[in-house]
Structure formats: C-alpha cells, structure tokens
Amino acid sequence: MNYCKWLFLSVLCFCLIKTHPLFADDGDGPVITGSFKGSYQSFFEESSEKPDQDFYSEVQLKINISNQLTDTVQYVASPLMQEHNEDWVEKEFRMVEDAIKRPGTTFHELYFLVTAGDFELSMGKKILSWGVADGCKATDVINPKDFMSVADTLGNPDQHKIGVPVISLFLYGSMLNLQVVSVPIFTPNRLPLESSRWSTTTSSSNPTTDIIWDRELPTREQTENQGGLQLSSSSLAEGWDLALNYYQGFSPVAVLVTKSVFPEIEIGLVYPEFHQVGFNFSTVWGDFEFHGEIAFHETRNELEDVDYEIYVLGLNYSWIYDLPDFFEKLNFILEFVDKEISRERPDESPYYDSGGGQPANESINGRIEVGIDADTKIELMASVNYGDENGYFFRTKLTHNLKDDLEIQLKYDAFDGTEESYFGRWKDNDQASMTITCFF
C-alpha cells in the first residue's frame, strides 16, 4: 500500500473520530450515511474493436459525513473507493481528479461550510449546480463529468459530476441572491479509455495504428482567475424562478490538433479558454412545470473552437390523482435541445473536434416515471438526434426496494442510428445491467 492510501485512510479515520459524539461540541454527534454499490453490465453484441469485452463490473463504496463544529461552521466529507474489472481505476489516492482514469480512492466532496444569517461561504472540493433542465443543463459549466461509460451518464447529468476545488460565496437578499464562485484548479472531463468499448478515439478503419495522445492541461497560473457568478431570484416576477450567470475558464471538453504523423502519430488534446453568459427560468402553470435555459458560449482563441448557443426548453407533468389502482404516481418529462453555431473556425485552424458530436446537439429527450408502489418504480427514457445525423437511445429501467436499505435496479439500454450520429456510433453496445445498492 503506497503512502497516498495511508494518507487517505488516516484522514478518513480522523473524520470518523472527530465526528464521534464524544468530540462533538453540541453532543448531538455527526450525520453519517453511505452506500455500497455493485453493478454488472452485459453487452448483447460483440464489439468489432473490443471483442474480448463482453461485460463490465464495478464496485463503489461512498461514505457521507457531516458534522457541525460550531454554530456557524460545519464540514462535509465524502470518502469514495471504487474498482472496475477493466482497469478503469488507478491504484492510488487522488484529490484533484485530473488523471485519465478514475481514482481508486478520493473524496467525492470535502469542504467547510460557514453560514451566518444571509451569508454562506464554502471552501474545498465540491459539486455545484446551475441550471434547471432535466437532461441537458446548458448553463451548468462548473463541474466536469465522468463519461467513461457513456450509457451511465445518460439521464443522470448530476450523478456523474466530478468534484472540483472551489470557493463559493452565497449572499441572500430580499429580492436577489448572489453567488460568486472561484475555481482555481482545472479539471477536465473524464473520457472513455482507448481500450474501452466506449472509446471515441479508436479508428475502426485502421485499428492497428498506435496513437500518442498528449493532453495539454492548463497551468495553475492560467486558471487562477477561473470562476463566475450567478444572480437568482424567486420574487422579481411572481411565480417565476429566474437566474442569470456568467462563467469564464477552460472548457472540460478538449479539441484535437495533430502534432506529428511520422514516425508516430501524435495528437494533442487542447482545452480552449472560453467565457459564457447563461439564463434559465422555471415556472408553473396549472399542473405543468415549464423550464428553459440558454447559453451563449464564446471561445477566446478563435482558432481553437467555435462559438455557439445552446437552447433548452422543457416541461414536466405529474399525475398523482385519478390514476389506475396499479399506479401510485406518473411523471412525464419532455425536453427540446438545440445548438446553433454562431462562428466557425477559420479555414487555417489546425484544430478539430474529436468526432461523434454531443447528445445535446439537436435532440428531443423524453422520460416517463411510473410509480407502482412505494418500493417499485419503472422508468422509460428516450433521446433522439434529429437533423442530418439521425440516431436514438432508449432505456427501460426497473428499480425496486428489497428492504429499506437494499435496492436493486435492472436496466436495458439500446443505441442505433447512422455512424455519424452520437448514438449511432454505439449501436454495438446494447446492454442489460443489474445494480445492487446497500444504504447505511
């Protein structure tokens, strides 16, 4: 066991000891919860590029600890340990998750929170959320995401966020709330490994070609001014939740540039600097909830990436009454997403996209949740790329509580479409999965 794991275990033991009622100032003790999760994914078809990978399995242990140190100060610690059968996890502790693989041990979140009246200050590794959409949150740009398993990220935009070192100041007002965020350390999206069935980089036309991938992460000096602010209100307009935000920093999505082709192919991954203005709203009309987001994204270096706007418009409708006896609740969510390029790269630009597009580009997303009873829920989800690149994704999921602290989830995912579409490129990856989670 290396010193990083010893450090992780020492910090974890300190948290557990410090949060014991004997050490708590108010004698009430800490709040300690957690989960142990195991999942198994089986693919129906053999991958043309990864024929030896017909299943994936992983385990994850997460502990959530929160403790009130004084009347105004508390801390939150969420130690996380995980493993995967296909070597997706590195065997060491890592606080800043900027490596290609997932960390074997880390803190999902670890921060101090100071609250006093209309003032709230948090410092540490944290997950924040901007935006109101269900699937594609156009204005939510603070935290990167884990895309190592594409299917897992679909329908769960918040669940696969990666915590980042952050300082967040929140001021509550009578009419407006202000949040100011500083993110001094850059963390990129975690992409599928080249050895994975979900890889976006392996060329099926020449699978024997070895490519050297060179990630050019921004330096600490470059990211010291990374951050943004958000103004939000629930009282400026009666019945409307409104938010206006601004963020500047480096995109967690890399663009590619070919550095050499002989004697070896070397491709650089560059993370463009950008700034973005966003607006979102949510309101209720009768039994319907309507929400929307718009983001204006501008790249600092015009050679590196395009400028674009993303539009999201959605509705949510819940049936609770007048349902058949075998339903307890029925919830319907529909969202329309569109992306418009306002400026293309100039012809002389050496940079290009990784290919495949993003699911947010011109898509219609729908989800139906059916509550059978208090312990059983069925979810049907579909996402369709329209336009020139047609593709779709469909999911059926059953969740059942075997006991109060034991849950089983059965899921079937299907992909199809043209090779150029985001979903069509995964059409060999239809899968069935089972996940068992024990809560404590």
pLDDT digits (tens, 9 = 90+) for 398-421: 999 999 999 999 999 999 988 878
- pLDDT at 207 exceeding the cut of 50: no
Closest CA to 109 of 79, 148, 141, 81: 79
Q: What is the spatial distance between Cα 65 and Cα 345, in angstroms, rounded to a whole number?
A: 47
What pLDDT is recorded for position 30? 86
Q: What is the spatial distance between Cα 2 and Cα 384, in angstroms, rounded to a whole number?
A: 46
User: Which tens digits make up the pLDDT trace of 189-198?
Assistant: 998 888 888 8
- pLDDT at 206 exceeding the cut of 50: no
Split at pLDDT 50, 70, 90, the class of 3 is: very low
- pLDDT at 388 exceeding the cut of 70: no
The answer, yes or no, to whether the previous bond of 192 is cis (omega within 30 of 0) is no
Among 23-27, 96-100, 422-426, the range with the most confident prediction by mean pLDDT is 96-100
Q: Are strands 211-216 and 265-270 parallel, antiparallel or unpaired?
A: parallel
Among 36-40, 150-154, 359-363, the range with the most confident prediction by mean pLDDT is 36-40
Degrees to nearest 5, angle at CA 126 with 13 and 253: 125
The arithmetic mean of pLDDT across residues 266-284, rounded, is 95
Longest CA–CA separation in the chain, Å: 70
In b/e form, how buried is each residue of 356-391, taking b as 16+ CB within 10 angstroms?
Answer: bbebbbbbebbbebbbeeeeebebebebbbeeebbb
Higher per-residue pLDDT: 403 or 52: 403
Q: What is the spatial distance between Cα 118 and Cα 370, in angstroms, rounded to a whole number?
A: 39
| SS3 category, 221 | helix
**Domain tally, the chain:** 1
Domain that holds residue 81: 3-439
Reading phi first (left if > 0) and then psi (alpha if -120 to 50, else beta), residue 343 is in beta
Split at pLDDT 50, 70, 90, the class of 119 is: very high
Closest CA to 144 of 127, 125, 161: 161
What pLDDT is recorded for position 205? 39
215 in Cβ contact with 272 (< 8 Å): no
The arithmetic mean of pLDDT across residues 350-374, rounded, is 80
- pLDDT at 52 exceeding the cut of 90: no
What pLDDT is recorded for position 264? 85
- pLDDT at 20 exceeding the cut of 60: no
With 0-12 CB in 10 A as exposed, 13-18 as middle and 19+ as buried, what is 52? exposed
What pLDDT is recorded for position 420? 77
Q: Which amino acid is at 292?
A: G
Q: What is the spatial distance between Cα 155 and Cα 395, in angstroms, rounded to a whole number?
A: 9
What pLDDT is recorded for position 13? 59
CATH of the domain at 393: 2.40.160.10
34 in Cβ contact with 15 (< 8 Å): no
| SS3 category, 187 | coil
Q: In percent, how much of the chain has pLDDT > 70? A: 87
Quote the mean pLDDT of the chain: 87
- pLDDT at 425 exceeding the cut of 60: yes
What pLDDT is recorded for position 204? 41
Q: What is the spatial distance between Cα 9 and Cα 54, in angstroms, rounded to a whole number?
A: 34
What pLDDT is recorded for position 17? 54
